[in-house]
Each structure stands twice: as C-alpha cells, then as structure tokens.
Amino acid sequence: MTGNPAPAPEGAAGTGPEEESEFRKDMGPWANFALGFTYLSPVVSTYTLFATALATGGPPMIWAFVLAGAGQFLVALVFGEIVAQYPIAGGVYPWARRLWGTRWAWMTGWVYMWALLVTITSVAYGAGPYIAILIGFEPTVHTTVLCTVALIIVAVLINYAGTKALSWAAMIGFSAELIGALIVGIYLLATHRAHGLGVIFDTYGTQGDGSYAPVFLAAAIIGFYQYYGFEACGDTAEEVAHPGRVIPKAMRRTIYVGGAAATFTCLSLLLSVTDYRAVIAGEDTDPVVNLLFDAMGETGARLVMAVVLISFLSCTISLQAAAGRLIYSYARDKMIVGHQLLRRFSHARAVPGFALLTAAVIPALIAFGSLVSADALTKIVSFAILGIYGSFQMVVLAALRARLKGWKPAGEFVMGRWGLLVNVGALAYGIFAIINIAWARTPEDPWYDNYIVLLCGGLVVGVGLLYMFTTHHYGRSDAPSGVAIPERRN
C-alpha cells in the first residue's frame, strides 16, 4: 500500500509547526513503536479484564481479540496516511484540524483529552492491588488511591526528564510486557495447562437459553479495550526523524505485535484456569492472581507482579506523554484557557512541562474522587473507552469527508485505490464498536446505571460544546485548518 506519492500540494505536507518545532528528534523508530506498544499494553488490559470477560462470555471471548484487531487495523491504516502527511505533535487534534476545520478539531481534541486523562487514572488505579500484593499489605480504597497518585507522580517525573528518558522507559516497558506475555505464558502452558484448544469454542452455558451473540459482544469489551495506543506513535511525531515513513510502520507494528502478545497472554491464562464454572458463577473473582500463586508459588507470583507493575507504570507513562503533547498542541494553537502557560516549553529537556503537569494533576484529582464515592471512579472510567473510540472515529469521518471532497493523501505512506474502501471499513467498525460499548445490557438496574456510558459521553460533549461556543478559543489561531480539501487551499 505504500508507493511514490505525487508531490505534496501547497498547504498539505509541510503545513503546521513541524518545521519550527521546539521538540528535538530524540526518539528512534523502535522507541516510537515501544511507546505505542506500552500504551496498548497487552499485559495491563488482558490482566485487568480477563475475569470480567471470562465470567461474561466463557472461553470463546478470546475471539474478541481477532474482531477488534481487524477493525482497529483499518483505523491504523487511515491514521498512517494522515500522520505521514501531517506529522504534528498532538495526534488526533491537529489531524482533524487539517482534514476538516477548527470547530471539528476542537471537539475531537476535547473528547480525546478527557478520555486520555481518565484512562491515565484507570490504569494507575488498576496497579494498586498489584502493588499491595507485591509489598504485602491489604489493599483498601485509601491505599489504592495513594498508590495511584504515587504511580502518576513517578510517571510525570520520567516524562519530564525528556524524550530520551521517555524512549528508555518505553523500551523497558516493552521488555517487561514481552516477559509478562511470553515467558509467563509459556511457563503456564508448560506446567499448569488444564485444557485443550477446543475450549475456545465451548461457551460453558454462558448464553443460557438464548443466542450466544449478545453474550459474546458483551464479553468483547476485552478486545475493544485492547486495541488502542497505536495513535500514541503519532502524538510524538515532532520527536521522530523521518516521521512520514517511521510512524505509519510503528502504528501497524503495534497492532501486529501487541495484538499477538495480548491474544497469547489471554490464551495461556484460559488454558491454565482450572475451574471455568467457578469464575462464571462469581465464586472465583480474581482468577489471574489465584492462578499465578497456584502455578508459581508466592515467590514466583510476586516476581510476576513486579513485571506486571512495570507494565502498568510504562502504560501510564505512555498515556501521560500522549496527553501532555495533545494539551501542548491545543495550547500552541490557543485553543484552550490558560494556553499561555500550557504552551510553555522546557528547552533544556525539550518537553512541554506545564502540559505534562496538567496530565498528572487532573488524573490524580480524579483518583481522589473515588474517596467520595466507591463507584465514582468506575462511573467516570466508563466514559474513557467511549471517548477514545469516539475521537478516533471523528478523525476517520473527517478523513472520509476530505477524501470525498478531493483529498488525495500526499505523504510517504498512501493506500492508493484502497484508501476509500479502508476508510469506509474503519468508520463502519468504529460505529459498531461504539454502539456495542454503549449498549444498555442490564435493564433491571436503575436507568442512570444502565446508560452510564452514554451519560458520561453526553456530559463531556455537552460541556465541550458550551465551552467552545462561549469562549470561541477554536477561532483564535491562524494554524492551518481544512487544508486537505483542495477547494479550501488558497
């Protein structure tokens, strides 16, 4: 799908601040891939949602990785074309700006920013129980919040150290992820395997008397949570040499390698869990931890917890790096209140210090919110996945609209005649995923719990619209907008 594209028209490739970027190109190709891989984090997402997915849909839930991987691969191809032409820090916001316009870009960045900030909290919060097990204390709401804040502080210190430190952290995290995915998985299959491959077709009666399809789609949340993070490769576009060639490859490689690692991790756990029915019945609520202690003993399990904790930290670092660069990109274009402060740049370390600090303070405050209500964090986090998929599809839709209006990608990665078909397929998958994520599946619960995902999404969008049309920040910058569409380029 790559080729020799036509020379970029005026206002296409080369539009944007990349030529006068304050960033230094200190991130190599493998570090860029590792950043996306650790953000995608096969260990974090699989270990976090394995129990829920298995209890909901039984062993066939593993096929969700194939479903989501195929769909998000189409999205990654679309993003690859865009970043090759517009290699600008901040990812989805500057892409949407150049493909469509200022208002669409503002809302895309707003939704993605809040999704990222909430996801930082959720990942760091998920590390709390593993820290408790590793150190040897009883996890409570208070200790989990303290561990969450501590992890966020460590992450922002590493990010603030500069792009080289971020690159090293990404590579270390990548290594930890591979250890967690491959070595632990191989060990479990060699010493604790309890089932054959046939179980991935056995539902264990999770569908009751009805069809398995609705049950599978509910369990498929493990796949939908897994396959994002590749866009982080583009968030650091101004810190990578030859981004038009490097970043599209890194995005695709993230899907290949990350998806394979996640699927293998899930498979090794599935074949090693002794009693599926106990998990499905709710008698075994933490099958991953129980399995590790049973298979490896206390010392071995604690070692694995240490590796898993590195994965959680590296994932938090990558998320924070992406959020900080998005906020900086927003501020650089005067798109948000406090932009004078948020766009300040530490030239000594070549990082946007105040933007990174914001990407640490807000997630920490969200974590403290869980002290007010035991369900507060869960309810807020329910928006994160919808927000990320929603902002992705806003870019995919913008690309399709621009393509239909005459945009011909002119970067170093192009799909040629396949571009339109892939773009339509990516949009169709995204709409399907969003509907599935937001679908109300518990009619017996109060309406506000049953529709919590839509309520959270509506709240963020509603506040964003009110903010956008009362402050008019979206119109304050002279940064290029809508330049992908030929008739608007002059």
Q: What is the pLDDT of residues 164-193, one digit of tens each?
A: 888 898 899 898 888 878 889 999 999 999
| CB contact at 8 A, 110 and 462 | no
Give the pair of three-digit tokens for residue 116: 């990222």
Give the pair of three-digit tokens for residue 405: 């209006």
Q: Which amino acid is at 316?
A: T
Least confident of 406-410, 442-446, 451-455: 442-446
Model pLDDT for residues 334-366, shown as the tens digit of each residue: 888 888 999 998 888 888 899 999 999 999 998
* Res 261 pLDDT > 50: yes
Predicted model pTM: 0.88
Q: Where are the beta strands (DSSP E) in 213-343?
A: none
In eight-state DSSP terms, residue 60 is G
Distance CA 12, CA 306 (A): 46
Domains and CATH numbers, the chain: 25-488 (1.20.1740.10)
Per-residue burial over 439-458, b = 16 or more CB atoms within 10 Å of its CB, e = otherwise = eeeeeeeeeeebbbbbbbbe
Angle, nearest 10°, between helix axes 102-126 and 141-160?
120
Partners of 351 in the β-ladder: 346
Position 411 scores a pLDDT of 92
Write the burial class of residue 132 (CB in 10 Å: 0-12 exposed, 13-18 middle, 19+ buried): middle
With tokens 């298995």, the residue in question is: 54
With tokens 């699927």, the residue in question is: 263
Distance CA 283, CA 275 (A): 10
Distance CA 45, CA 259 (A): 11
At residue 359, the 3 state secondary structure works out as helix
